Structure 1
């Protein structure tokens, strides 16, 4: 049972360390892109900012031009 316990612990640590890369659309975007999106936030109602930020970063992530693909 110790083997499974150790494996579970390592997997849990890995998910905590890298999980946002799987669920966060902006995880692989540069800080410059994130900062630029933040400049738009004063134009957005405070209660909608998180949703708008997430949508914008998701769209950028989905349509990001990648030099490695061409």
Structure 2
């Protein structure tokens, strides 16, 4: 399953994204930045991420049902 993770409150530190990736055993697939800010990161995960975990890290999580990593960027 692919998910798009973005900061819930406008910005988040790089370490939050790294800690999230480790906590969810995710694989980073793609990302977008604007200047030195991370707009979002797309991860591949094995199971759905709980709302509580997303809130703990301060992230919005969007499930990407039709995402095709071979067509990104």
One fold, TM greater than 0.5?
Answer: no
Structure number with the higher strand fraction is: 2
TM-score range, shorter chain: 0.3 to 0.5
Larger Rg: 1
TM-score, with normalisation over the residues of structure 1? Answer: 0.32
Q: Which one has more relative contact order, counting CA pairs under 8 Å at least 6 apart?
A: 2
Structure number with the higher helix fraction is: 1
TM-score, with normalisation over the residues of structure 2? Answer: 0.31
